Amino acid sequence: MKRSSPAVVVLQEVTIRYGTVTAVSSVSLSVSAGEVVALIGPDGAGKTSLLRATAGLQPVSAGKVEVFGLEAWKHRRELHHQLGYLPQHFALYDDLSVAENLAFIGHLMGLQHWQERRSLLLQRLGLANFQDRRAQALSGGMKRKLALAASLMHDPRLLILDEPTTGVDPISRRDFWRLLGEFVAEGLTLMVATPYLDEAQRASRVVLFHRGEVLAQGSPRELTQALKGRLLAVEGEPRAELAAVLADLPGVADVQPFGLGFHVTLAEKAPPPEPQVFQNRGIRLHRFEEIPPTLEDVFLFELSRAAGEPKP
């Protein structure tokens, strides 16, 4: 059903440069109405640049960014009525109360019915009882909710969020995502950069960025399916010897330290190593089993593959 929805965002071969630095390199991506697209990737991967260009806040060096069928930079004024952008470091007025902050946004955006909208959002985001509290006295989670309310004041159809919950405790993050889910159920489309893979897990599509390029994209299920049957949890002693053996094994594509042992990704179609290999090297295996891959496994595997890292 999602696939036949109209495209809200279409990025075609988008490149963004700052002088000699290429932040985004020839990225193509399309986001349909009602989708939740999560951008994940290490710091400096280019997520902020791509989100800003999508929000019409900066021009691109090459390629095309279309939002609701309009070129984002050229039509940024029209588009600002239809999209919301919550930057990584959203500045609230610390000395203003929750209600005053939203009133300020209402005036700034020239909204006609901002009082009604403010009441609705205060209610829905659980801020009504705190509306007279100064922003500086709010908890981290509450501050992020207020920022969310501010970005929703003009009732956008697309919301672009840059790491909206960074530094917020897990319970508040869950609450924040529950609220986002309610707005999405009502038709809001989301593009969100997040460092948290549990948040990416909630997206309809995850796009993995590295050095300005898309390494992989798909639903969380599609991404993890790609490693299905290829991931082993291996624990044993001595650990250093185990790491050395794993690094040299043919058919092993990647080894990541994990808990007491390692997560080992096998090359495509490679059979798992025989436990005998380890015994021959004097290793006592405590665990050696296939496990279902998580997004974190996919993320680490793709990153180390892209970096061409030697195995540990």
Dihedral angle computed from the Cα positions of residues 276, 281, 283 and 288, in that order, rounded to the nearest 10 degrees: -40
Residue 21 as a binder of ligand ATP (CB under 6 A): the answer is: yes
Q: Which is nearer to ligand ATP, 46 or 156 (CB)?
A: 46
14, 23, 67, 214: residue in contact with ligand ATP (rule CB under 6 A): 23
Q: Which is nearer to ligand ATP, 16 or 234 (CB)?
A: 16
The one segment of 15-23, 61-69, 131-139, 200-208 that binds ligand ATP by CB under 6 A = 15-23
Q: Which is nearer to ligand ATP, 28 or 139 (CB)?
A: 28
Q: Which is nearer to ligand ATP, 32 or 49 (CB)?
A: 49
The one segment of 16-24, 153-161, 228-236, 261-269 that binds ligand ATP by CB under 6 A = 16-24
Residue 18 as a binder of ligand ATP (CB under 6 A): the answer is: yes
Identity at 199, one-letter amino acid code = E
Number of residues this chain uses to bind ligand ATP (CB under 6 A):
11
Q: Which is nearer to ligand ATP, 38 or 105 (CB)?
A: 38
Residue 210 as a binder of ligand ATP (CB under 6 A): the answer is: no
Q: Which of residues 27-86 bind ligand ATP (CB under 6 A)?
A: 41, 43-49
CB of 290 to ligand ATP, least distance (A): 33
CB of 22 to ligand ATP, least distance (A): 8
List contacts with ligand ATP (CB under 6 A). 18, 21, 23, 41, 43-49
